[in-house]
Amino acid sequence: MSGDGVDIPGAIAHFREHGWARMGVVAGDDVLAKLRARADDIMMGRVVHEGLFFQRDSETGRYVDLVFGRGWEGPSLDYRKIEKLEVDPVFRSWLENEAFELVVRGILGDQVAIYRATLFTKSARGGTELPWHQDGGNFWGLDRDPELQIWTALDDVPAEAGCVEIVDRSHAAGLATPLGGTIPADRALARRAEDNVTPLPARAGEAILIHNYLWHRSGNNSTGRTRRAFTVSYITAATRCLRTRRAPRQFVRVFERASEDAT
């Protein structure tokens, strides 16, 4: 995907002011077919990569009922989350497309890595709700918080499929808590989040920029069809992991084709 036809400066300006921005439909039918097939192959175990993180949907569809730490539980289309997809060549190719590179470099600069590349799925059975949260804070274990993620709809995502919902400009107030992650109920009430919801339904192939501090959530999927989205959290290459219980993470650098071609 080239940057032709995408208003890169406009998207960056809107992102900085509002905490989110639409890039428009950037993935064509051929790309979408490859990404969808790859997503299904990974969930069904037909394609295997060592070290991927898997999490199944909760039985109830409620976030509080999620079970952690089980990893791969066998072939299923009911995984809600698969991380570390930068190791997969199909997803890696997409996250390094030219349009994304122009946006990412315009926001983060020339030296870029990724914190995570994640498939979020809401299965045809309904998936799992995701409450108000921010993707930053001490929970992430970094020396600086990420700013930018790019979310790509692999399927049509109307409101009833559990589209992303946001509180416009909420990124400007910083973190709701130092820990980050889920927004406490009292903070959401004080911010009148329920009165200020902006849904972001998306067409298959559409990409949306999301600031990591932006309050966002998604509901269950009532369409009876799978709802898949791929999101990549980009970081400056200078970012360092602060964890001490295990060896600090090393982050994969991206958009280095030009320098590689010159050698």
Tell me the pLDDT tens digit for each residue of 74-121.
999 999 999 999 999 999 999 999 999 999 999 999 999 999 999 999
- Rounding to the nearest 10 degrees, give the CA dihedral for residues 164, 223, 119, 208: -30
The Cα angle at residue 68 between residues 209 and 48, in degrees rounded to 5: 70
CA geometry: angle 53, 174, 190, nearest 5 deg = 100
**Measured distance CA(210)–CA(44) in Å, rounded:** 29
Q: How many residues does the chain have?
A: 263
Q: How far from chain centre, in Å, is Cα 5?
A: 23
- Which CATH number is 164's domain given? 2.60.120.620
Does residue 257 fall inside a structural domain?
A: yes
Inside any domain, residue 62? no
Amino acid occupying residue 99: A
For residue 166, is it within any domain?
Answer: yes
Within-domain flag for 69: no
Residue 112 structural domain: 8-57+82-262
Residue 213 is assigned to a structural domain of this protein? yes
Q: Answer yes or no: is pLDDT of 261 > 50.
A: no
Task: Note whether residue 25 is domain-resident.
Answer: yes
Q: How many domains in the chain?
A: 1
**In the predicted model, is pLDDT for residue 220 greater than 60?**
yes
Which of 4-8, 22-26, 34-38, 210-214 shows the lowest mean pLDDT across its residues? Answer: 4-8
Listed in sequence order, the DSSP H helices in 24-97 are 29-43, 89-95
pLDDT of 143-178, one tens digit each? 999 999 999 999 999 999 999 999 999 999 999 999
Q: Residue 196 in contact with residue 49, Cβ under 8 Å? A: no
Note whether residue 210 is domain-resident.
yes
162 lies in some domain: yes
